[in-house]
Chain A
Amino acid sequence: MSIMTEFTRRDRVFEFLAPTQSPVDVRHGPILYLEDVTVSFDGFKAINNLNLTIDDGELRCIIGPNGAGKTTMMDIITGKTRPDTGSVWFGSRHNLLNMNEPEIATLGIGRKFQKPTVFEALTVFENLELSMAADKRVFPTLTAALTGEHQDRIDEVLDIIGLSDLRERLAGILSHGQKQWLEIGMLLMQKPRLLLVDEPVAGMTEQEMERTAELLTGLAGKQSVVVVEHDMGFVRSIARKVTVLHQGSVLAEGSMDQVSADPDVVKVYLGEDD
C-alpha cells in the first residue's frame, strides 16, 4: 500500500523522468547553491549548516584555518563526499547530490587538486589536446584527427595560461608553477562553467604568484572560479569577494577589507598570525 501511494504522489517528478543533460540554468544569477549542508565524520561535524552561493562569472576566494572544511566542501561539490543533510544545486536545474563524479565533471565543474598532475611524458600541447572536450570513446579517439578549430582552441588556451612558447616541451620538465598553469589549462579545455581551484599558489615564487593571479582574474567573467587559498597576500591581490569558513560554516563574507576588519575573523584566523 505504501508503495502505491509513493508511486501516485503528485508533488514530485521521478528522477528517471527529469532531464539530466539539459544546459545549466543560471537565469536567476547564482551558478552554485549550497543550502544547510552538514557532513559529519564519526560525530565530528566537518561541515556544519553551510550556506554558500556563487554567482555566475564570479571569482570567489575561500579562506579559513586548517580544518575549517574547505576541502570537504570541494569534495561535496564534485560528488566525492555525500552530505548528511542539505542540498547542493548547480544552476537552478541540476541537483548535484544525484550525480556521480564523471557526470558532474561532464556537466562543467572542473577541479584542480593541490598537487599538480599532468601527463609528464607528453608535451604541453598534447596535454591540452587530450583534455579537449570531445568524443572520448576508444574508436573515435583512435581515428581522431586534429582540425583547425581544435588547433585554435588549444592555441587560445595556451595563450591564456601563458605557455605558448613551451608548447613542444614535455610537461615533465616544466617548473612547478608552469605545471599548475598547465593543469588549469587542461581544465579550461573541457569548457567548464565552474572551476574549483585548491591552493593554486602553494610552493610558487613571488613572480609565479603574480602570473597566477592574472590568470585567475582573467578567467572570471567567462567562468566562475572558486579559489581555496592559505596565502593571504595572494587572496588580497585577486579577491573581490572573500568567504571565511570556520568550523564548517561561514563566519564572514564580503570584500577583503571588510572581512579583515571583522573582529570574529581577526579572532579565529588572522589573529593566529600574531
Chain B
Amino acid sequence: MTQSTNYGQSWLTRPFTERSTQIFLAVLLGAVALVTFLNLTMPEDSALHVSTYTVTLMGKYLCYALLAVAVDLVWGYLGILSLGHGAFFALGGYAMGMYLMRQIGDRGVYGNPELPDFMVFLNWQELPWYWYGFDMAWFAFLMVLLAPGILAFIFGYLAFRSRVTGVYLSIITQALTFALMLAFFRNEMGFGGNNGLTDFMDILGFDLRTDGARLGLFVASGIALAIGYLICRAIVGSKLGRVSVACRDAEARTRFIGYRVERIQLFVFVVSAMLAGVAGALYVPQVGIINPSEFSPLFSIEVVVWVALGGRATLYGAVIGALIVNYAKTVFTGVMPDAWLFALGALFVLVTVFLPKGIAGLLAGLTQKKASTDKSVAGTAQEAGV
C-alpha cells in the first residue's frame, strides 16, 4: 500500500491529503472545466470548439468511468469479481427513466397526463403502484440509490452469509443480471418491455434537448465521478479498506483475528452497487433511453475488461480503462463496426499478457522505478543487519 498513509487521520479528510487523489481530482475537474469553457465560449467554426455532441459523448464516458470505479472497489479491494454490476447500473437508470417518463406528462403521443405512452398502448387503466412517487424528483433520486442498494443488500446478504466466493459468486452475479434482463423484457413488468423507457423531455424543469441541459448533465457526471472517487478513496484508505484487502487475500485469517468477513463484504458491495446506480441514473438522460439491454451479461463483462485494462485496485486505473476502451469503441465502431469485438478481445489478451497490472501499473512502474530500486538496496542492507 502507500508508504505515506497517515493512520491517525480521520477517514473523511484522508483522501484530500493523498497525492494521487489530488492529482486525479485536479485532472478530472480541470478537464471538465476546460470542455465546458471551450463549448460555451468558442465559436462553432473554431478548431478549439467542442460540440455539444462531443460533450454528451464525454458525459457518457464519465458515467462509465464511475461504474468502473464501483466495480474496482469490489473487485480490486475486496476480491469479489462481480460480473453483474450492469444490473445495478441499469436499476439506477430505470429509476431515473421512470422520473423522466413522469415528467413528460400530457405531452406524450397519446396525451395521457398520468400514464406513460407504452401503458396507454398496452391498454392499462391506471399507474402500477411501483410507479407512484416517481413524479417527484427527490423520491426518484432516492430510488436511484435505494433500488440497487436494496438488491445488493439482499443478494449480498444471502451470498456472503453462505460464504459463496470466487468463481461461484461471479457466476451467480451473471445469473442475477441475466434474470433481471429477461424480467425487464416482459411487457407485464410495467417498464416498457424491450423498448424500455424513452422520448424523455424534461429534467428538473430543463428541456433535455437543449445544449444547456446537456452541458449541465456532463458537468454533473464529472462531479458525480469526483465524489464517487472520493468515497471509494475514503473507504480503501481507512482501516476498513485494509481489512477488505485482508479478506481478499486471507479470508480465514481475517475471520480468525475477529472480523465478521461477511458484513465487511456486504457493506462494500452495497456502497459499490449504489455508485453504479448513480452512474446509470446520469447515463440515461444523456443517451435518452434505458432498455433491458443494459442488463445484458455481456455489458457487465465489458466493464470488468475496462477495469482489468486500466489496472485493478487503483481506482484511477478503472477510470483510465473505461475512458480508453470506450473512446476506442466509439472510433472503431465508426470505422469498422464488425471488428470491434475482435479488437476488444485482442486488447484484453495483450494487456493480460504484457501488462498484468494494467495501464495504472505501467504508469506506477515508470514513475517509481528509480525510487523502488533505491529502496530495495537499502532494504537488503537492513536485512543483512538483522
Residues of A within 8 A of B240 (CB): 138, 141-142, 144
Contact A145 B7 (CB under 8 A): yes
The verdict on A190 contacting chain B, using a C-beta distance below 8 Å, is yes
Q: Which of B259, B379, B386 contacts A136 (CB 8 A)?
A: B259
Contact with B along A160-171 (1 / 0, CB 8 A): 001001101110
Residues of B within 8 A of A120 (CB): 249-250
Q: A105-B258, A136-B259, A145-B10 are known contacts. Are A126 and B242 too (CB-CB below 8 A)?
A: yes
A-B contact count (CB 8 A): 98
The verdict on A48 contacting chain B, using a C-beta distance below 8 Å, is no
Question: What is the interface residue range for chain A against chain B?
Answer: 35 or more
Residues of B within 8 A of A144 (CB): 11, 238-240
Contact with A along B1-30 (1 / 0, CB 8 A): 101000111110000000000000000000
CB-nearest residue of chain A relative to B5? A126
Residues of A within 8 A of B203 (CB): none
The verdict on B161 contacting chain A, using a C-beta distance below 8 Å, is no
Stretch at the interface among B148-156, B260-268, B328-336: B260-268
Contact A131 B257 (CB under 8 A): yes
The verdict on B382 contacting chain A, using a C-beta distance below 8 Å, is yes
Contact A142 B385 (CB under 8 A): no
CB-nearest residue of chain A relative to B250? A117
CA distance in complex: A165, B235 (Å): 28
Contact B257 A190 (CB under 8 A): yes
Prevailing SS type, chain B contact patch: helix
Q: A106-B258, A130-B239, A142-B11 are known contacts. Are A123 and B1 too (CB-CB below 8 A)?
A: yes
Contacting A at CB under 8 A, from B230-245, are: 235, 238-240, 242-243, 245
Task: Provide 20 A-B residue pairs closer than 8 Å at the C-beta atoms, listed in order of the A residue.
Answer: A102-B258, A117-B252, A118-B250, A120-B249, A122-B246, A130-B243, A130-B246, A130-B259, A136-B260, A138-B240, A138-B264, A141-B243, A141-B259, A144-B238, A144-B239, A144-B240, A145-B10, A145-B11, A146-B8, A190-B258
Those 10 A-B pairs whose CB atoms lie nearest each other, nearest first: A146-B7, A142-B240, A144-B239, A141-B240, A119-B246, A117-B253, A146-B8, A136-B258, A138-B267, A165-B382
